[in-house]
Structure 1
Amino acid sequence: MSNLLRPPTVRHTIGVLDRTLFAKTVNLAAVAITDKRKIAQWRQSLHKDNTLLGAERLANVVPHPDQTLASQGARCLLLHPKVRPTVPDTWTPLLRDGVEKQELGVVPYDLSLDYTYWSYDDVMQCLLPSDVRDEHDGFPSGFNQAGHVAHLNLRDQFLPYKKLIAQVLIDKNPGVRTVINKVTMVGTESEFRTFEYEVLAGDDDLNVEVRESECIFQFDYSKVYWNSKLEGEHRRLVHLFKPGEVVCDVMAGIGPFAVPAGKRGVFMWANDYNPESYRSLSSNIKRNKVTEYVQAFNEDGRTFIRNAADLVYAASTTGKYAVAKKKPVSRRRQHEDGGKATEERIPVPPTISHFVMNLPASAITFLPHYRGLYAGHEGLFEPHTGTKLPMVHVHCFAAKAGGEAPLLDICERITAELGFPIKLGDPEVPGEAAVLEIREVAPKKRMFCASFRLPAEVAFAPRE
């Protein structure tokens, strides 16, 4: 069956995609059910008998091939290709019995397939010659999607076919209207992680809207950084934050950590050095109605780290708070309050609970700026209070290697920048860090997140 349902042979081409070349007719057998009321019953029986056609994206209940009967509502069940309509020896006992009892009639059926049926991989297998496929016989199917834009990073061997690839990608992904290809490495042309691109298909419109974690983000994809493959990491960290805590997002981008956390009642001091990211971040804060909890800043992350600690402490000492609306929890309370939601003041605490540093290419180099973060404020933390020093989550890259080698390398780099020994282990233990692999970004490169409590020796050191 797999051979019958393969796409037709199409000559490899670098030119315009001709979708008509993918038309194909597959000769099958079908059974006409004498009593239309028994179609479901026979469908179930033939399925158990392994006689029914079972193919992805194909319905096995179809109109009768006779147009007159089809106009009267007659339908058929498509059979497995092993069953031939004029060769009874290929029929199963169940099928023969149904025919003998005149409950079934076996008829030829010409199944017409066209370009819309074939999957992206099916089409690529036809269009791309075998000598340009990668070592796994694969095709360029992975892409980063931002709203209606699909962002490819094509390898050199696929570049002659880039227009074809883009056209097929749009055809097979209904949510995609524009396909672009990166022509420079992220960070090569801009310190803001933006990149030069070429439009391969669709309009040159990179103003997109993305939905993630029940939030709406709008931005110009050509001017800010966004990676849809980090949605799981966004969700993972946000769910570590507790309502009423303060979290400092040093490289906040357009707000994928800050905005969802704000919706959960977490105070977010969100910063990004890119003015365009800051504008989108500010807009997304308002759009998602989290202005009570999320504040946007446009500073160099190195200076923002200490500034945020000072600003949070000042906000707490001056009595800053967020107003949260609470719905009545009981009918009696609802009656007493007239059915209206009540307001609760959530005070800003004096210290930051978490720092997020999602700039994997260089975030580790920002660590020296935590030195002296809380100099002179030792009384705010353990053992004087029940408050722990901030948990730092720093994203980074490391070469792909076996075992713990990349994790140990990351700890060594953190140690060198922080000026305090950090080893692999439990992040709640002073001097230890948990290092989690987030994703593979290239065949020999992976992204990690290292989490550790800021050591007292660093936090309370004199500020330089």
Structure 2
Amino acid sequence: MRSYSAEYLDLTPPVHRGLKEIVDKSIFRKDLNIIAAKIDARKTQTIARALRDKAILHIRSYRNVEPAGDGKTLVLLKFPDEALLPPDVREFLEKEGAEFVPYTMELDYDHWTADDILQSVLPEDLAEQHPSGFAMVGHIAHLNLPEEYLPYKHIIGQVILEKNSAVRTVVNKLQTIDDADHVFRVFKMELLAGVPDYVVSHMEQGCKFTFDFTEVYWNSRLQTEHTRIVDMLKPTDLVADPFAGVGPFAIPAAKKGCAVFANDLNPSSYHYLNKNTISNKVKDLIVSSNEDGRKFIRYVFRQAWDMPMPPHRPKEKGESRRAAKRPPAPALARWAPEHARKRITHFVMNLPQSAIEFLDAFRGVLAPANMGDRPLSGEYSDSGSMPMIHCYCFTRFLEPAEAEADIRQRVEAGMGHPLGEEVSLYNVRSVAPNKDMYCISFRLPYEVAFAAA
């Protein structure tokens, strides 16, 4: 038996173009006249299974099988009258002893999706491409409305709020990344619907992040990229994150076993980074700071040498349960100094607007002028022991070859030295019609790290 669409039925809500607010939801009530198959209740499962994707009507929040009394059941079909029943459907139902009866479905506001309602209330020239998509950050739905939709922003917010049970707050971003606070990457936003509660709890990579969305930078669209970088790290790695934010790279990396020096200039980001470090139980593996990124790059090599991080120790099966029953050991007794992690193996530089401008800070970071007389030969002895740098940036070049040439030229100019052979480029996402975000990963050239001042 073939499948049939509901092409004979008008399943759209009543049209009320130009509304700025929905006050009376009864205006969306609509009667839908269809036919139903009245069958022996004992055959309900058999018939429903056979017709599920072929002839039964499926409407949000509406049961398509109803009791009819006297041991009978009504199976609602996607046809307005008996004359339109396809022959194979009719033959099957008649063999099962079905009786065809008219049925009126009473639909209201609750039966339609946000897309359906917005298409019925926005002006016709805006309805087709209406912005019902949004990013979720905890309980906040975050929109970036084009200018032509701003007169209808509150009804858009209202519909999104009412049609998504996980949403309690709907906001609209008022700036682009270029116009936002250049230092902290914090966007101005306006409340469209719901409660003005901007402190969220957001889950990503099995970690819980708490932060005030109005005070820090967070982009849920980067979750895949956060995971990509963390997946390439080894549990034994020592990672430096100059622009750590509230910890989307640092905390999952520490959960994996990496030790991390995490820094952010924004005091609010630093506050929530510390809070998230504690709540995710990785305090022993993250050292946080609230400094300028360039200053951090210069001193973190010294910090890693003078205050080495504990070695990675794989957990034994059942260890977490045993550990909970005994008091913690003194910190210094947990690991031997000779096993400490001193050598930084990765830098994550997620500041695409300007991270390349910080690459000059790597010149001479391992030279005596920065490191003094620390004996580095055992750790940073050759080119292969230099850290990998994962530097984010934007480019206006959309062709991959042109984008690569543009990014390489800017990175090499920033460091004052050509890149080596160990280089890869990854297109993270498109952020605007003529603007892509990339991550360039490369090994810090030995000559740059040990360059004279």
Shift of 1:341: 12
Q: In 2, are the aligned partners of 1:17 and 1:167 still within 8 Å (CA)?
A: no
Q: Distance in 2 between matches of 1:255 and 1:55?
A: 43
SS of the equivalent of 1:121 reads helix
The equivalences for 1:130-279 within 5 A come to: 130-132=124-126, 137-186=128-177, 188=179, 190=181, 191-279=183-271
Checking the alignment, whether the CA contact within 8 Å between 2:172 and 2:192 is kept in structure 1 is yes
Deviations 1:407-450 (A, max 9, x none): 2111111111111123xxxxxxx245211111111222221111
* Aligned residues: CA RMSD: 2.9
SS at match of 1:345: coil
Write the letter of the residue equivalent to 2:205.
Answer: S
Secondary structure in 1 aligned to 2:132?
coil
**Percent identical:** 38
* 1:398 shift after superposition: 1.2
Distance 1:400 1:54, change over 3 A: farther
Q: How many corresponding residue pairs?
A: 432
Q: Who is 1:438 aligned against?
A: 428
Q: Aligned with 2:75: secondary structure?
A: strand
Provide TM-score, normalisation by structure 1. 0.85
Q: In structure 2, what is the Cα distance between the partners aligned to 1:93 and 1:279?
A: 66
- Determine if contact 2:171/2:191 at 8 Å carries over to the other structure: yes
What is residue 372 of structure 1 aligned with on the other side? 364
Residues 56, 64 of structure 2: 8 Å contact kept: no
Distance in 1 between the 2:133 and 2:91 partners?
48
Check whether the contact 2:141–2:167 (CA below 8 A) recurs between aligned residues. yes
Q: CA separation of 1:363/1:161 partners in 2, compared to 1, >3 Å: closer, same or farther?
A: same
Relative distance call for 1:290 and 1:214 in structure 2 (3 A) is same
The equivalent residue for 1:407 is 404
Supply the distance in 2 between the matched residues of 1:103 and 1:119 (Cα, whole angstroms). Answer: 36
Change (3 A) 1:111 1:263: same
**In 2: Cα distance, 1:102 partner to 1:387 partner:** 75
Moved more, 104-113 or 296-305: 104-113
Q: Does 1:43 align with 2:33?
A: no
Aligned partner of 1:124 in structure 2 is 118
Structure 1 residues 286 and 374: alpha-carbon distance in aligned structure 2, compared to 1, 3 A threshold: same
**What is the SS of the residue equivalent to 1:321?**
coil
Q: Which residue of 2 aligns with 1:115?
A: 109
- With over 3 angstroms needed to count, the CA separation of the structure-2 counterparts of 1:109 and 1:328, relative to structure 1, is closer
**Cα distance change, pair 372–73 in 1 and its aligned pair in 2 (3 A):** farther
State the SS of the aligned residue for 1:312.
helix
Distance 2:25 2:167 in 1: 18
Going from structure 1 to structure 2, the CA distance change for 1:187 and 1:322 (only over 3 Å counts) comes to farther
Q: Please report how far the alpha carbon of residue 116 of structure 1 lies from its aligned counterpart in structure 2 after TM superposition.
A: 1.6
Q: Could you say what secondary structure the match of 1:43 adopts?
A: helix
1-structure distance, mates of 2:384, 2:326? 35
Taking the TM superposition and a 5 Å limit, the aligned residue runs for 1:382-401 are: 384=381, 388-401=385-398
Contact 2:383 2:446 in 1 (8 A): no
The reply to whether residue 22 of structure 1 matches residue 20 of structure 2 is: no
Instruction: Read off the aligned partner of 2:377 and give its amino acid letter.
Output: G
| Cα deviation, residue 76, structure 1 | 1.5
Please report how far the alpha carbon of residue 342 of structure 1 lies from its aligned counterpart in structure 2 after TM superposition: 11
Moved more, 340-349 or 169-178: 340-349
In structure 1, what is the Cα distance between the partners aligned to 2:360 and 2:23?
Answer: 54
**How far did 1:91 drift?**
5.6
Residues 1:177 and 1:94: Cα distance change in structure 2 (over 3 Å): closer
2:371 aligned residue:
none
Q: 2:342, 2:379 within 8 Å by CA — same for their partners in 1? A: no
8 A contact 1:252–1:270 mirrored in 2: yes
**TM-score, normalised with respect to structure 2:** 0.87
Aligned mates of 2:93, 2:164 — CA distance in 1: 42
Letter of the aligned partner of 1:349 in structure 2?
R
| Aligned residue in 1 for 2:87 | 92
How far, CA to CA, are the matches of 1:98 and 1:285 in structure 2?
62
CA offset at residue 60 of structure 1? 6.2
Matched residue, 1:63: 66
AA in 1 matched with 2:60: R
Q: Is the 8 A contact 2:58 2:64 kept in 1?
A: no
Residue 277 of structure 2 corresponds to residue 285 of structure 1: yes
CA contact (8 A) 1:60 1:77 kept: no
For the Cα contact (< 8 Å) 1:327–1:341, is it kept in 2? no
Cα distance 1:189–1:61, how it changes in 2: closer, same or farther (>3 A)?
closer
| CA deviations over 1:334-364 (Å, ceiling 9, x no partner) | 99x9x98998638432210000011110010
Report the CA distance shift for 1:144/1:329 in structure 2 as closer, same or farther (over 3 A). Answer: closer
For 2:232, what is the secondary structure of its paired residue?
Answer: coil
Corresponding residue SS for 2:441: strand
Name the structure 1 match of 2:3: none
SS at match of 2:377: helix
**Structure 2: how far apart are the matches of 1:90 and 1:13?**
38
* 1:342-353 to 2 correspondences below 5 Å: 345=335, 347-353=339-345
Is this contact kept in 2: 1:12–1:126, CA < 8 A? no
1:219-243 deviation line (CA, Å, top 9, x unaligned): 1111111111111111111111111
Q: Which amino acid aligns with 1:6?
A: T
Cα deviation 1:287-312 (Å, max 9, x = unaligned): 11101111111110001012111111
Single out whichever of 226-235 and 9-18 deviates more from structure 2: 9-18
State the match for 2:315 in structure 1.
Answer: 326
**In 1, Cα distance between the equivalents of 2:195 and 2:27?**
26
1:11 aligns with 2:7: no
1:47 Cα deviation from its structure 2 partner = 4.7
CA contact (8 A) 2:394 2:437 kept: yes
Shift of 1:208: 0.9
CA distance in 2, matches of 1:323, 1:102: 67
Aligned to 1:461: 451
Residues in 2 aligned to 1:350 and 1:93: alpha-carbon distance in whole angstroms: 74
Structure 1 consecutive aligned stretches of length 4 or more whose deviation exceeds 6 Å: 339-344
